Amino acid sequence: MRVSEIAARLQAAWEGEGDREITGAAALESASAHEVAFVGSRKAAAAAAQSRAGCLLVTEAFPKGPTLIRVSDPRAAFAAVIGLLHPPIPVIPGIHPTAVIAPGADVPRSAAIGPHAVIGAGTRIGERSKVGAGCVLADRIQIGSDCLLHPNVTIYSDVTVGDRAVLHSGCVLGADGFGFVRAGDHYEKFPQIGRVAIGHDVEIGANSCVDRAALGVTEIGDGTKLDNLVHIGHNCRIGRHVVIAAQTGLSGGVVVEDYAVIGGQVGIGDKARIESGAVLGSGCGILTSKIIRKGQVVWGTPARPLKEHLEQLANLARLPELRKQVKELERRTRENKES
């Protein structure tokens, strides 16, 4: 694809060699003469002069160079260009002969069902969706159009998934929530009779789990992205365009509002609320019923505002020196008493 064609698709202006052929995308330091790279920081801008990239995606403020495409957000534009250069493999419709389709399941001709997949009764697959090898979809599931289920996805009954969802291998939707009631000397299971509702354009990473509600619904809003090994407990409500990094766990009844950002290895207690646009730093812990206010950035366990957390870390770093000073004062005190 030529530079001028890429710029046209991005609706952006180009400078330099518009006819240069671009065949791939790479990092700034390793890009070749037929690859595109982006300049997304001051450090990258300083290194751009040494780059061999055939085309650079830059901001309007970037100085003139050999071949450039000027965009408002180089990183986002770079992602779009990768999509242009490496389009997804088209869905080849058809049902593999080893797949098991229950009577009453609705599988359109435009869908693709892979080897050894299982589709339960009353389940509906959307147009042009692909169900990978070994996937198990139980009864009464609704899968939207243009979805991609990688191999070995498991979806329990009464789950709905919106359009253009991507479910990676090993993820499980609709398993029972962790609900048990103490009955004398043992625990009785609290029946989990709710469901799961996944919005449009959601991506769920490998080996992540979204539990069904005990009663009602566990919800994940449009555009939300879950990394690998994320656990969403029963009756959680996740808003739109939330991002959650790997190894994070949400206990039951947690509410996460739109555009929140949650780092890796975060633990969130029951019925906590994360308001819109809040940022939870990696490894932090949110106590039960805690509210993280709109736009707030928190870190640490228990989570506290970032500035406060950094001040506490700085104080901790001073403790060894303070200990030495205390010992020195003790020594002088003893010497004064002896004299």
> What's residue 328's pLDDT?
82
Residue type, 308: E
Residue type, 293: R
Under DSSP, is residue 328 helix (H, G, I), strand (E, B) or coil?
helix
The b/e string for 31-53 (b: 16+ C-beta within 10 A; e otherwise) is beeebbbbbbeeebbeebeebeb
H/E stretch holding 14 reads strand 13-15
Q: At residue 339, does pLDDT exceed 80?
A: no
Chain segment 203-214, per-residue pLDDT in tens:
999 999 999 999
Alpha carbon distance 306, 99 (integer Å): 52
> What's residue 65's pLDDT?
82
> What's residue 286's pLDDT?
95
Alpha carbon distance 92, 129 (integer Å): 10
DSSP 109-160: TT-EE-TT-EE-TT-EEPTT-EE-TT-EE-TT-EE-TT-EE-TT-EE-SSEE
Chain segment 252-279, per-residue pLDDT in tens:
999 999 999 999 999 999 999 999 999 9
Q: Which residue in the list 150, 168, 231, 234 is annotated as catalytic?
A: 234
Residue type, 95: I
> What's residue 100's pLDDT?
97
When computed from its CA atoms, the radius of gyration of the chain, rounded to whole angstroms, is 26
Q: Answer yes or no: 234 catalytic.
A: yes
- Sort 59 into a burial class: Cβ within 10 Å, 0-12 / 13-18 / 19+: middle
Q: At residue 338, does pLDDT exceed 80?
A: no
Name the H helices within 33-87.
42-47, 74-85
Chain segment 83-102, per-residue pLDDT in tens:
999 988 889 999 999 999 99
Alpha carbon distance 120, 44 (integer Å): 51
CB 174, CB 210: distance < 8 Å: yes
Chain segment 26-41, per-residue pLDDT in tens:
999 999 999 999 998 8
Q: Calculate the average pLDDT of the chain.
A: 94
CB 127, CB 106: distance < 8 Å: no
The model's pTM is 0.85
Neighbours of 15 (CB within 10 A): 17
Sheet holding 166-167, edge to edge: 94-95, 112-113, 130-131, 148-149, 166-167, 203-204, 225-226, 243-244, 261-262, 279-280, 297-299, 304-305
Q: Which residue has the tokens 């530079």?
A: 3
